[in-house]
Each structure stands twice: as structure tokens, then as C-alpha cells.
Structure 1
Amino acid sequence: MTTVAITGAARGIGLATARALRARGATVVIGDVDAAAAEAAGAELGAKALPLDVTDRASFTAFLDAAAPDVLVNNAGIMPIGPVTAESDADARRCLDVNVHGVMLGTKLALDRMLPRGRGHVVNIASLAGVLPTPGLALYNASKAAVVAFTEATRLEVLDSGVHVSAVLPSFTNTELVAGTRSPKGQRNNDPAEVAAAVVALIARPRPQVVVPAKLTAQVRLGALFPDRLKRAVARRYGLDTLFLDYDPSARQAYNTRIRD
């Protein structure tokens, strides 16, 4: 039976992934910086739940030692939004610490365990934001671009070792991260269960990268070839040029307080 450790799994995509894997018979270990929420999620799913600060090596080491996973899903992440000049230095440091260094640390610690035995899988939850820069999302864009590049470079480094390293790039997903924002025009957000299903499929059949929803894969790959004028026209067409600048601050207050606590 496969054992899967998931970071940031007390809510959102992480919790949905834990639920989907448990339904398929996997042993799941939930890690989250919110220990009370992790315990509640663990009780709901009948899964082991542990406190985890992904920015702290000792905490991450203890988590992996206790979980002994075949698969690590690096899911923990935060998303500050707004004009880049209004983002605080503290938010910038926290975003990179959790989203980038947390993923790097987890990947390195997992590989230390997986490479000697010649098997294992590290799945890093990135984002379409890592390949599609968007006004009002500069910090998050930068962090997820780093995750995409780090994951691919690491995958190439351990190629043929028996260990897989993959990235998942979801588009807008209905979690706390998008609180107070609206969906792109003419599009619907992912449900966390849809992203979870993609993770489950990726574990079953490892691939370098998957986009959720899959129908956006071609657009993502071709988008880099578009001229700037076309990119700007597309952004205006879907409202992406203002989506993270014109939002409801009061609706994000609880989320912002939690990620800055």
C-alpha cells in the first residue's frame, strides 16, 4: 500500500488530495502548520496528522521520519495579492519562504530518502501563475515560476534513478487563496477535487508536468510564443489585467490574517 505525505493538507487542494487518495486505499499522512486543523482533517479521514512548518528543516525532517512516505506532495503555499508596490517586504519574504524554500526543502529531504532505495515520487503543486504572469500577482508569480523551474531541473537531475519528480499546474481553484477575487470572464474555477484527481492520476502514471484543467495545456505551451500585443489583448478579454488588482479586501481579511500570523 502506498504511503503519501501531503503538506498544507488541512484544507483546500491538500485536503481534497488526501481525501481522494484515502478513497483509493492509500495511507495518507497530513502535515500542516495549523496543528488543530490538521488534527481535525486527520480525524475526518482516519489519517495520521502531524504539525509541520515547511520552512523549518527540523520540523520537515521529523514529519518525513514519522510518515516514511513513498510519495511526497509539496502542496503548502500562500498567495498575497495586490499592486507590487503595496506588497510588504515581510509578505515577499514569507511568500518565497513557504512557496519556494518549503518546496525545495521538502524535495531535498525526500530525495535523501528515496534515491538510496531507487524509488519514490515527489509531486510539487505549482500553478499556472508560474508560467502566466498576471498584474497584482507578482510575488506569487515569482514563487511559482521558481517551483516550476526547480521541479524540472530536479527531475532531469534524478532521471533514470527510479525516483520521479513532477509538477502540477492548476488554474484558478476554489480555495481560500482566491477569496475576494472573481473568476476570469467566461471561465469557471477548478474545484479542489479536480486538482486532487489530477494528482492521483499523476501518482499512478508519473509524468513531468500536468495542467489542470487539461484543456489549457496547449494554450500554456503556445502562450510563450505569442507577441506581447496578443498577450495583452487576451488578458483584457478575460479580465486578467485587473483580476488581482480590483478585488474585495474585506473578503480576504481572514485569509490574509492567517497567512501573516
Structure 2
Amino acid sequence: MAKQPRPLTGKVVAITGGARGIGRATAAALIRKGAKVAIGDLDLAVTEQTAAALGGGTVALQLDVTDAGSFERFVAETERQLGPLDVLVNNAGIMLVGPFSEETAAGAQAQVDINLLGVITGSKLALARFLPRRTGHLVNVASTAGKAGIPGGATYSATKFAVVGLTEAIRGEVRGTGIETSVVMPVPVRTELAAGLQKGRGVGLVEPEDVADAIVDALEFPRHDVFVPRQIGRITRIGALLPRKWTEAVGRAMRTDHVLGGADRSARAAYEQRAKASDAAVSEPAAEKREQPASAEVGA
């Protein structure tokens, strides 16, 4: 007998970085399943516009994932308006590309603050609610760059490796409590964050809706490792068994070293300009703690 999906009707879901990209697509997919959704992002006006377009009673809230107080208010207000939290999707993230030796300290710190420390903060806030209830599902959006370091995105890769390890460790700690975890690892996703990236061989860009559907599937049929597309999981597992020089040769054959390293910086200018316009320029240390350009993960 085929396994039946877990119903998502009435489930309360909070999504960070929900105004655009993967976050928006995930909210839309969950609303279609009957879930009650709150989206959080730094730009409240854009978040409210997204919520209005999504409909379904979507709650729009301002959120800076680098500010623990802001994150606490986001989760608390989600519960006040919608009910006890069932699912947190830690999706907000940024990616800066270029040679590691040329990366600014502010750029590195911003990626760590948003991509890693933001996920840590959100995970703790979710678990503080899940553990007493012995139920809940934590979804952390990482990247295939969390399984293989990608040239041109060294710090980004480092943050995504950390998210993968963090989520695996949490999974071990909550085993037997009724709480579930998922780590989502997409290849590059067709969002503004992926502007100017080069295509590898064999696997092209996926759509935000592909990642959203994979997240919904992981909630309906719980599983920890969520690769998008699925065949990337098989490639990753096979690669882990091969000698390093072989896996590196395969990577070069697939041109994975050009995906970020060969990015068209002019094509990425709009994304980077929007990040700066959010009063969160990655090059200005004073703004680092406030940065959260609202696109969802690219997964690289």
C-alpha cells in the first residue's frame, strides 16, 4: 500500500526570506496545501505586497535574521496570529561571488551572519517551541555547495557546509522526540540571486517552484536530505566514494568550477545594487548586522 502524505492543512509555517524567490514559491505551494503561512523579510513593504498577492491569509512580517530580537518577534507574532508553530523554513540567504583572495571582510561577515548565524538563531527559536510539544519540522535551506566547495564562492560554500552539519547534528539531538529535520540542497536556482552565473554541464538551473515542491514533499513524506533535483543526491553519494582526484576531474568536466568563478559580474549588478539599497551594503561594516537582501537561496 502506498504511503499516504501527511496532511498540511492548518499547519502553521514561518518562512524567512519569504518575499521573493524560493521563499515566495514555498509559501505559495504551502498555501495551496492548506497551510497557514507567515513570511518574514527585511523590506516590509515588499513582504506585504507578496503576502497580498499570495492571498490565503498570508501574514507579512518584518524580519532581520541577523538580529535575534527581530527573529524572536517574527516567530512570536506568527504564533500570535496563526497559532503554535509547526514548521520553520530557514530560507533567507545571500551569495557573493568572486575570488576568495579579493573578498572583503564585510562581505565574508555578512554571509556568515545571514547564511549561518541566522539559521542557528532560527533553529534555536523553533526548537524552543517544538521540544515541549514533541512535534515540529525544521527545514534549513542549504545548497549543493554545502557538499562540495565551489570555486568563486568559498565563503558561501563554507556557510552552506556549516548549515548541512548543523542540521545533521540537530537531527541527532532530537531523535526520538517527534521533531523532524530537513536540509534542502538545490543546484543554482533561477532567482535574482543567481543572476550572471554560468551553467555547468549535465545539470542546469532549477526553478524556485522546483525547490518549493521538494520542501512540500519533505513535509508530506518526511526525509532529512532534500536534493534538488533528486539525481544530484545520487551523484553526491557516488562522488563521496571516489578518490578526490576523480571527483575533481568529474567536477571540471561538468564545469562546476565555472558556475560561480565565471559569473558575469555586470549581470549581477542589479542584485548587488538592491542589496545595498536595502540599507545593508555588504561592503560597509556598519550595515553588516542589518543586511538581508530578500532573495532565497541559490544553492550552487
TM-score (normalised: structure 1):
0.97
Check if 1:12 corresponds to 2:21.
yes
Shift of 1:65: 0.5
- Aligned twin of 1:52: 63
2:48 matched residue in structure 1: 39
2:297: which partner in 1? none
**Number of the residue aligned with 1:117:** 133
Q: Which amino acid aligns with 1:145?
A: F
Confirm or deny: 8 A CA contact 1:235 1:241 kept in the other structure: yes
Shift of 1:115: 0.6
What is the Cα deviation at residue 235 of structure 1? 2.0
Deviant stretches of 4+, over 3 Å:
none
Q: 1:128 aligns with which of 144, 151, 161?
A: 144
**How far apart are residue 217 of structure 1 and its match?**
1.1
State the TM-score, normalized to the length of structure 2.
0.84
String of CA shifts for 1:122-157, please: whole Å, max 9, x gaps: 100011100011111101100000000000101110
Secondary structure of the residue that 2:266 maps to in structure 1? helix
Partner residue of 2:116? 100
- Kept after mapping to 2: 8 A contact 1:78/1:259: no
Pair 208,187 (structure 1): closer, same or farther in 2 beyond 3 Å: closer
SS of 2:38's equivalent? strand
Kept after mapping to 1: 8 A contact 2:47/2:60: yes
Contact 1:38 1:50 in 2 (8 A): yes
The Cα shift of 1:96 comes to 0.5
Residue correspondences, number: 261
In structure 2, C-alpha distance between the alignment counterparts of 1:147 and 1:223, rounded to whole Å: 20
Q: How does 1:52-201 map to 2 (within 5 A)?
A: 52-68=63-79, 69-201=85-217
Residues of 1 paired with 2:166 and 2:187: CA distance? 19
**Percent identical:** 48
1:27 corresponds to: 36
Gaps of 5+ in 2: 1-9, 80-84, 281-300
- How large is the RMSD of aligned CA atoms in angstroms? 1.1
Offset of residue 173 of structure 1: 1.0
SS of structure 1 residue aligned to 2:189: coil
In structure 1, the gaps of 5 or more residues are none
